[in-house]
Amino acid sequence: MRTMWRRFFSVLIAFAVTAGIFVIPGAGTVRAESLMLYFDYPLAEEGSSIPDTPSMLKEREENAIVKQIEWKKDGVVKTGKFEQGEYTCTLTLANGKKTIPAESIYIELCGIGQWWYYDGQTAEGWKKYHDTYTIKEKCKHLKTEKTYIYLEDASCKPGRGQYVIACKDCSEILEYLDEYITFPPDYAHTFEAVSSKDIKFKWSEDLLSCKAYAKCEECGTKVKYDCKVTRKILKKATAGKPGQMKVTAKAVFGGTFKKSKTGQYLIRGKLKSAASPKKKQMKVSWKTVKSASGYKVQYAESKDFSKAKTVTVTGSGKKTKTIKKLKSGVKYYVRVRPIKKIGNTTIYGDWSKKKSTVVK
């Protein structure tokens, strides 16, 4: 609905041309400039007036590069009102001492973008451009709906909109309501100039996940990206000794950026059983790992361990843990992993396969 400015029933022809030098066939080298022309008539349905050269050009002779606008239907020049069917529009543009656009021009009609193409030149040296349009039946606006139009862009910050009654068929606004809406940003942030030095990587303690942060060039917001992490085993872990691994995180901020790190890891935990010996309790047992100094036991009501709780058990020889104050009649999922403390660093093993039990 961003193109709802059609309420003005205007046709916008935009000659989007960057200033510079262009070579036009048969015309030598000419300097191109941009020009905006506004036409106050509808061009989307039958009954609309067929336009000729815009009257505004008479008021702005310095920009009068359009000599003629000609509309044809079945090869016959048409004036007056549009009928249903296909029309070909030809623009004759100035040459010689006047400015001239590039060989193909981008034109926007009632919010619908199209390209117009070079179509040769006249004997007098004027350039012709053309495109074809289909004139549809005039909409009767029988089906309407309440929606809103955007008053402010919400790409990087909260935006604002106004409620309107619009036609479902052609989207024309039939009524503007005295109701407004504030909507959240769509997070279409810009990172075109972001380089690796602008990105901060933050690793989890077990080095198996990583988050990257970069600032949006448009609004300055610090944006988080959950990286994809890959792991390469450099030295395999055993029950009695940690292994070595290399992890690489990949983040996408306009381009793709990578960050690698090496670290140690333990063998994967092995869960033996999970049962409910007493009311509101769950007893968990696992196989011990010689190189571990303790274990992490994680439990949750959901199998994906969302909103999980984790308890730490200290001691390499510990192999059971009773969790209390649980909900009776609820199924709990549980898993375990070995850990090893070395100074201020903790080494982790992978989580075991999960088990479940219904608490008494």
Tokens of 39: 């036409």
- Within this chain, do residues 306 and 207 fall inside the same structural domain, yes or no? no
Instruction: From 39, 42, 43, 26, select the one nearest 128 (Cα to Cα).
Output: 26
Tokens of 308: 């999980």
- Within this chain, do residues 125 and 151 fall inside the same structural domain, yes or no? no
Full-prediction pTM beyond 0.85? no
Separation of alpha carbons 64 and 39, rounded Å:
14
Asked if 236 and 265 count as a contact pair (C-beta separation under 8 A), the reply is no
Domain range holding 245? 196-265
Angle at 197 between CA 192 and CA 200, to 5 degrees: 95
User: Position 287: which residue type?
Assistant: K
Asked if 359 and 282 count as a contact pair (C-beta separation under 8 A), the reply is yes
Separation of alpha carbons 293 and 314, rounded Å:
6
Tens of pLDDT along the chain (360 residues) come to: 333 333 322 333 333 322 222 222 333 323 333 333 433 344 556 777 776 655 434 434 444 456 667 778 888 888 888 787 777 777 666 544 344 444 444 444 433 444 444 455 555 555 555 566 677 677 778 888 899 888 887 778 888 899 999 988 778 888 999 999 988 877 788 888 888 899 999 999 999 999 999 999 888 889 999 999 999 999 999 988 999 999 999 999 988 999 999 999 999 999 999 999 999 999 999 999 999 999 999 999 999 999 999 999 999 899 999 999 999 999 999 999 999 998 888 999 999 999 999 999
Cα 264 to its chain centre, rounded Å, is 37
Whether 171 is covered by a domain: the verdict is yes
- Torsion on CA atoms 31, 34, 36, 37, rounded to nearest 10: 20
- Within this chain, do residues 10 and 74 fall inside the same structural domain, yes or no? yes
Whether 190 is covered by a domain: the verdict is no
- Within this chain, do residues 131 and 9 fall inside the same structural domain, yes or no? yes
